[in-house]
């Protein structure tokens, strides 16, 4: 196996697939990247069994030759070393060649590296086809996919005590795709319209979705194909395949109220700044802050007997309802506001012990929910 390749394209492919590789994987073969050159192009695969990323580098793009002087073959090389070496080489063209035994030579006009390879026959067979065209699928612009991920995945649980809550639930119901994440203290829901009706209900690990978002940065569209055990995110030259989390996702549809008794409209960035300052004195790990609202004024406050107290006045607001005092974890509200990514936000309340709804009035497709904290 040998080829000469543009460094730019090879490094991009290595960076993409290495996101699925763990240096601590107990299976040594999965600490490597599988590199295969065949008549259709150069294919790189990285996997940790839960997530697999498979990408293609074509022989040419337009009139630009990317791969030249080639002989077909396959090899598996340590992800850490091959990626670091290619990143630091100075030449624009990199030469790649297997030698006698299990060595791979990687050279440019200045540097000459020889790396030990692994037996490619030990690399697990990975089915990226999901068994046919009759499986349910959704086609989305990558901008919409990235919105889904950024507005939901942060709310998934980081604790493995309830594995199902470590993922984002994707539920297609006709021409709607409903995406929900919750750790039981907060909830994020995003609803998008899809052109082709579909029916499925799967939960994808939030960690995987964050890697999908990185792959999607330079892409225009994505096809999401779903089976009982896997979900494939298919881009132009890259496929990200992930296992789904076993189990039924809890029904969260009734947690979001359809009406409210109190409403606060304010400026997102200004409110964020005040929450951050008010929470500085809190010793609680969630930095509990109290929000006090009445028609004449709105304040944020925190009080700790060991440290002191802080009060922040919210100047830009519009409030509807009687006086209401409610406490919440500052971090959860900050995360929700950042996920909405808008200039103006609305808080909806039904009392001091009921869930707090945070939303962008101009974009009803996304809803953030935070449970209040009882203080005595």
Inter-residue contact 43 to 55 (CB < 8 Å): yes
Mean pLDDT in residue range 68-91: 95
pLDDT digits (tens, 9 = 90+) for 136-186: 899 999 999 999 999 999 999 999 899 999 999 999 999 999 999 999 999
Instruction: State the pLDDT at residue 279.
Output: 87
Secondary structure letter of residue 221 according to DSSP? E
Domains and CATH numbers, the chain: 2-122 (3.10.150.10), 137-243 (3.10.150.10), 262-370 (3.10.150.10)
The alpha helices in the chain, defined as continuous H runs, are 7-18, 79-88, 142-152, 206-216, 268-278, 330-340
Residues 128, 56: Cα–Cα separation, whole Å = 13
Instruction: State the pLDDT at residue 146.
Output: 95
Inter-residue contact 75 to 114 (CB < 8 Å): no
pLDDT band at 284 (very low <50, low <70, confident <90, very high): low
Neighbours of 84 (CB within 10 A): 13
Greater model confidence, 135 or 347:
347
Q: Is 155 helix (H, G, I), strand (E, B) or coil?
A: helix
pLDDT digits (tens, 9 = 90+) for 335-347: 999 999 999 999 9
Q: What is the mean pLDDT of the chain?
A: 93
Q: Give yes or no for residue 35 having a pLDDT over 70.
A: yes
């Amino acid at each position: 196996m040998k080829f000469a390749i543009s460094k730019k394209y090879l490094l991009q492919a290595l960076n993409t697939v290495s996101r699925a590789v763990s240096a601590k994987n107990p299976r040594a073969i999965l600490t490597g990247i599988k590199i295969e050159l065949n008549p259709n192009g150069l294919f790189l695969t990285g996997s940790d069994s839960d997530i697999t990323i498979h990408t293609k580098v074509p022989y040419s793009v337009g009139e630009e030759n990317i791969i030249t002087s080639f002989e077909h073959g396959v090899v598996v090389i340590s992800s850490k070393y091959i990626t670091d070496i290619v990143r630091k080489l100075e030449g624009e063209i990199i030469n790649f060649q297997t030698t006698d035994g299990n060595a791979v030579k990687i050279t440019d006009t200045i540097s000459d590296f020889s790396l030990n390879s692994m037996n490619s026959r030990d690399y697990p067979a990975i089915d990226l086809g999901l068994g046919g065209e009759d499986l349910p699928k959704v086609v989305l612009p990558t901008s919409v996919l990235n919105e889904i991920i950024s507005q939901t995945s942060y709310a998934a649980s980081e604790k493995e005590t309830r594995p199902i809550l470590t993922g984002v639930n994707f539920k297609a119901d006709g021409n709607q795709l409903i995406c929900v994440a919750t750790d039981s203290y907060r909830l994020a829901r995003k609803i998008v319209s899809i052109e082709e009706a579909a029916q499925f209900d799967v939960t994808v690990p939030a960690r995987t979705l964050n890697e999908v978002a990185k792959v999607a940065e330079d892409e225009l569209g994505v096809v999401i194909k779903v089976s009982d055990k896997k979900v494939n995110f298919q881009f132009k030259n890259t496929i990200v395949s992930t296992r789904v989390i076993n189990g039924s996702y809890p029904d969260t549809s009734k947690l979001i109220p359809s009406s409210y008794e109190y409403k606060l409209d304010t400026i997102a960035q200004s409110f964020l700044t005040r929450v951050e300052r008010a929470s500085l004195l809190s010793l609680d790990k969630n930095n509990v802050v109290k929000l006090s609202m009445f028609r004449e004024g709105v304040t944020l406050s925190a009080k700790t007997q060991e440290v002191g107290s802080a009060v922040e006045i919210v100047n830009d607001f519009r409030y509807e309802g009687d006086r209401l005092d409610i406490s919440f974890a500052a971090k959860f509200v900050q995360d929700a506001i950042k996920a909405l990514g808008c200039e103006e936000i609305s808080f909806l309340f039904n009392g001091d012990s009921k869930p707090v709804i945070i939303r962008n009035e101009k974009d009803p497709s996304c809803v953030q929910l935070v449970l209040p904290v009882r203080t005595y």
